[in-house]
Amino acid sequence: MEKGLNWRSLLLLLSLSALFAFLSPDHEIMLHVFLSNQEEAEEPFTAKHKLDIYVDGKLLSSPGLGAEGGTKHYAVAAEFLDALDKDFWAGETLRCETIPYAGRDYLCIEDFCTAQGISLYREADDSKLWCTSAAGDWEVPQGYRVPVLMYHGVGENLRPGAELVVTTESLDAQLNLLRERGYTPIWFEDLKHVDQIEKPILLTFDDGYLDNYTELFPLLQKYRIKATLFIVSGYLDSPHNVNREQILEMQASGLVSIQCHTQYHLDLDTLSAEQQEEELCWSKVELLKLTNKEPYVIAYPRGRQNEETLTICRKDYRFGVKMGGPAYVTGDDPLLIHRIGIYRSTTPEEFAARFP
């Protein structure tokens, strides 16, 4: 902490301490708050330019303020820091320089997010700004085995093809076995702390079928475990797929991570670079605007991709998953992660043998 803090600096520090007092020691965000010593400026922002700020899916109650030129945006520091994902930032030290204005302390969003590796996405008309920690730049501890399971449908609607739809009873038994054997279902962002997780495993479900809400979601609630749904954005609200309200309900439960499966489930390796860009990027933007969290994982339709696919994805995604292959080991290419397919024909004995 810099020396010579004035009363406003002390007040902010006390308020930030109160914000995080409810967190357990294992989930505490360590904050070093560096406040500017400058006097309060009369008009450091363009007060007429206000925008909605979303931080890890939460809309800040106070609007963000724009600065001259439109390249910088400011948010109330205490609100911004309180909205950060506490599990993602567990044990971290964050540094925040603030600017006093109109009786409140503001941080520069671009400067803070760049320093912390938080991803930013701004609406073209500058009316909204999304800040997503998991989609940013962070390290994954290397050398840890993390099986990634691939499912599709659940239940008795065999429309996707019988082999791709596991029965509800089978999935229930599989989830129960994983729990009994000490596995910890996680999201991709939890890989940041994979070295602290006992027997991590990723459960993924492709295509966003309606039964992911009617059959899968109740089982996730029953066992209180996490899963990742890969959504084809162009199929949202269709009769056999989940709708927007269901996605938001599942996300709000804290059990479901919503990620991308392209716009229309086309084979990417058959498309031009321009067509691939559209498939990969429009779906990401549509899901971002729906969930207010930036997707950062892509599931390649039918596992198919080429070098152009990977070039695009290295700019827009942190992880990419395929079909088939061995268990993922952190440190492998994060855009070429193999998954273990679980099918209707997978017997209890086979499943139990794979996950001792």
What pLDDT shows up at residue 47?
Answer: 57
Fold of 145-354: TIM Barrel (3.20.20)
- Quick one: tokens of 187? 């999201």
Type of residue at 152: H
As a dihedral over the C-alpha atoms of residue 276, residue 290, residue 128, residue 8, rounded to 10 degrees, the angle is -130
Integer Cα distance of 126 and 97 in angstroms: 23
**What mean pLDDT comes out for the span 193-221?**
97
Handedness of CA 117, 119, 122, 128 (dihedral sign): negative
What pLDDT shows up at residue 39?
Answer: 54
Instruction: Classify 5 as helix, strand or coil.
Output: coil
What pLDDT shows up at residue 137?
Answer: 95
What pLDDT shows up at residue 157?
Answer: 81
Average pLDDT, the chain: 88
Cα distance between the two ends of the chain: 49
- Quick one: tokens of 253? 């439960």
* Residue 102 or residue 282, greater confidence: 282
What pLDDT shows up at residue 328?
Answer: 97
What pLDDT shows up at residue 2?
Answer: 34
pLDDT band of 6, cuts 50, 70, 90? very low
What pLDDT shows up at residue 161?
Answer: 83
What pLDDT shows up at residue 191?
Answer: 98
Segments of the chain assigned to CATH 3.20.20.370:
145-354
pLDDT band of 218, cuts 50, 70, 90? very high
What pLDDT shows up at residue 20?
Answer: 41
What pLDDT shows up at residue 99?
Answer: 87
Left if phi > 0, otherwise alpha if psi is -120 to 50, otherwise beta: which for 303? left
**What mean pLDDT comes out for the span 217-246?**
97
pLDDT for residue 71 is more than 90: no
pLDDT over 90 percentage in the chain: 76
